[in-house]
Protein backbone atom coordinates (compact mmCIF):
# COMPACT_ATOMS: atom_id res chain seq x y z
CA UNK A 1 0.00 0.00 0.00
CA UNK A 2 1.23 3.48 -0.82
CA UNK A 3 2.06 5.40 2.38
CA UNK A 4 1.07 8.72 0.80
CA UNK A 5 -2.57 7.64 0.86
CA UNK A 6 -2.46 7.52 4.66
CA UNK A 7 -1.13 11.03 5.06
CA UNK A 8 -3.67 13.81 5.49
CA UNK A 9 -3.52 17.29 4.00
CA UNK A 10 -2.08 18.62 7.27
CA UNK A 11 0.66 15.99 7.25
CA UNK A 12 -1.02 13.76 9.82
CA UNK A 13 -0.60 10.03 9.47
CA UNK A 14 -3.62 7.95 10.43
CA UNK A 15 -1.65 4.94 11.52
CA UNK A 16 0.81 6.99 13.59
CA UNK A 17 -2.08 8.85 15.19
CA UNK A 18 -3.98 5.64 15.98
CA UNK A 19 -0.88 4.06 17.47
CA UNK A 20 -0.17 7.14 19.56
CA UNK A 21 -3.75 7.25 20.80
CA UNK A 22 -3.51 3.67 21.97
CA UNK A 23 -0.48 4.61 24.02
CA UNK A 24 -1.27 8.09 25.25
CA UNK A 25 -5.03 8.47 25.39
CA UNK A 26 -6.29 9.16 28.89
CA UNK A 27 -8.87 6.83 30.44
CA UNK A 28 -12.04 8.31 28.96
CA UNK A 29 -15.57 8.64 30.26
CA UNK A 30 -15.96 4.85 30.29
CA UNK A 31 -13.81 4.82 33.41
CA UNK A 32 -15.78 7.24 35.58
CA UNK A 33 -14.50 5.57 38.73
CA UNK A 34 -10.94 6.50 37.86
CA UNK A 35 -11.79 10.19 37.41
CA UNK A 36 -13.91 10.32 40.55
CA UNK A 37 -11.01 8.90 42.49
CA UNK A 38 -8.51 11.32 40.94
CA UNK A 39 -10.77 14.32 41.68
CA UNK A 40 -11.18 13.09 45.27
CA UNK A 41 -7.41 12.75 45.63
CA UNK A 42 -6.83 16.26 44.27
CA UNK A 43 -9.42 17.75 46.61
CA UNK A 44 -8.09 15.92 49.66
CA UNK A 45 -4.62 17.16 48.76
CA UNK A 46 -5.99 20.71 48.66
CA UNK A 47 -7.96 20.27 51.90
CA UNK A 48 -4.88 18.93 53.65
CA UNK A 49 -2.79 21.86 52.52
CA UNK A 50 -5.49 24.40 53.40
CA UNK A 51 -6.04 22.96 56.86
CA UNK A 52 -2.34 22.98 57.52
CA UNK A 53 -1.50 26.46 56.29
CA UNK A 54 -0.52 27.43 59.86
CA UNK A 55 1.80 24.44 60.28
CA UNK A 56 4.91 26.44 59.36
CA UNK A 57 4.02 28.98 62.05
CA UNK A 58 3.70 26.20 64.61
CA UNK A 59 7.20 25.20 63.54
CA UNK A 60 8.30 28.77 64.15
CA UNK A 61 6.82 28.71 67.70
CA UNK A 62 8.55 25.44 68.47
CA UNK A 63 11.78 26.79 66.99
CA UNK A 64 11.43 30.00 69.03
CA UNK A 65 10.95 28.09 72.29
CA UNK A 66 13.92 25.91 71.53
CA UNK A 67 16.06 28.94 70.69
CA UNK A 68 14.98 30.67 73.91
CA UNK A 69 15.91 27.61 75.99
CA UNK A 70 19.30 27.35 74.31
CA UNK A 71 19.92 31.08 74.78
CA UNK A 72 19.02 30.86 78.49
CA UNK A 73 21.38 27.93 78.93
CA UNK A 74 24.23 29.71 77.14
CA UNK A 75 23.68 32.93 79.10
CA UNK A 76 23.56 30.99 82.41
CA UNK A 77 26.83 29.21 81.60
CA UNK A 78 28.47 32.48 80.55
CA UNK A 79 27.36 34.23 83.74
CA UNK A 80 28.63 31.37 85.93
CA UNK A 81 31.96 31.37 84.13
CA UNK A 82 32.26 35.17 84.44
CA UNK A 83 31.63 34.98 88.19
CA UNK A 84 34.21 32.25 88.63
CA UNK A 85 36.83 34.20 86.68
CA UNK A 86 36.07 37.33 88.66
CA UNK A 87 36.69 35.49 91.94
CA UNK A 88 39.84 33.88 90.57
CA UNK A 89 41.10 37.27 89.42
CA UNK A 90 40.50 38.74 92.85
CA UNK A 91 42.41 35.95 94.57
CA UNK A 92 45.25 36.20 92.06
CA UNK A 93 45.47 39.96 92.55
CA UNK A 94 45.88 39.50 96.26
CA UNK A 95 48.37 36.67 95.95
CA UNK A 96 50.47 37.93 93.06
CA UNK A 97 50.55 41.70 93.56
CA UNK A 98 54.19 42.85 93.98
CA UNK A 99 55.13 44.47 97.20
CA UNK A 100 54.66 48.25 97.16
CA UNK A 101 57.59 50.62 97.09
CA UNK A 102 56.96 51.84 100.64
CA UNK A 103 56.95 48.31 101.93
CA UNK A 104 60.15 47.59 100.01
CA UNK A 105 61.81 50.72 101.25
CA UNK A 106 60.67 50.06 104.76
CA UNK A 107 62.05 46.56 104.76
CA UNK A 108 65.13 46.95 102.58
CA UNK A 109 67.33 48.58 105.07
CA UNK A 110 70.30 46.43 104.50
CA UNK A 111 73.31 48.46 103.64
CA UNK A 112 71.74 51.81 104.54
CA UNK A 113 72.56 53.80 107.54
CA UNK A 114 69.76 53.74 110.12
CA UNK A 115 69.07 57.43 109.82
CA UNK A 116 68.62 57.33 106.09
CA UNK A 117 66.33 54.35 106.35
CA UNK A 118 64.12 56.18 108.80
CA UNK A 119 64.01 59.22 106.55
CA UNK A 120 62.99 57.13 103.54
CA UNK A 121 60.29 55.46 105.58
CA UNK A 122 58.86 58.79 106.62
CA UNK A 123 59.01 60.38 103.18
CA UNK A 124 57.72 57.36 101.34
CA UNK A 125 54.23 57.87 99.80
Partner 1 sequence: MTGPRADERDIMLAAQRGSREAFELLVRAHQQRAYAVARAIVGTHEDAEDAVQDAFLHAYRALDRFRPEQPFGAWLHRIVANAALDVGRRRKVRDADSLPESVTMPFRDPAESDELRRRLSEGLAGLSDRQRAVIVMHDVEGFTHAEIGDMIGMPEGTARSDLHHARVALRRVLGDLRSER
Nearer to partner 1, 39 or 67 (CB): 39
Within residues 28-67, the interface with partner 1 by CB under 8 A covers 28, 35, 38-39, 41-43, 45-47, 49-50
Assess 4 for contact with partner 1 (CB under 8 A): no
- The CA distance from 14 to 7, in Å, is 7
Nearer to partner 1, 50 or 86 (CB): 50
Q: State the minimum distance, in angstroms, from the CB of residue 18 to partner 1.
A: 10
Assess 3 for contact with partner 1 (CB under 8 A): yes
Using DSSP, how many helices (H) and how many strands (E) does the chain show? 5, 0
Question: Which residues are 1's β-sheet partners?
Answer: none
**Which contiguous run of DSSP H or E holds residue 10?**
none
Contact 53, 44 (CB under 8 A): no
Contact 108, 120 (CB under 8 A): no
Say what the alpha-carbon torsion angle 20, 22, 23, 25 is, to the nearest 10 degrees.
90
Assess 108 for contact with partner 1 (CB under 8 A): no
Assess 26 for contact with partner 1 (CB under 8 A): yes
Contact positions toward partner 1, by CB under 8 A? 1, 3, 7, 11-13, 15-17, 19-28, 35, 38-39, 41-43, 45-47, 49-50
Amino acid sequence: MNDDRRIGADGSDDEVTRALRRVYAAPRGRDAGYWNELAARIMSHIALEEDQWWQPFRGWVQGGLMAAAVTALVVGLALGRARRSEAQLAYRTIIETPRTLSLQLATETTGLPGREATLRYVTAP
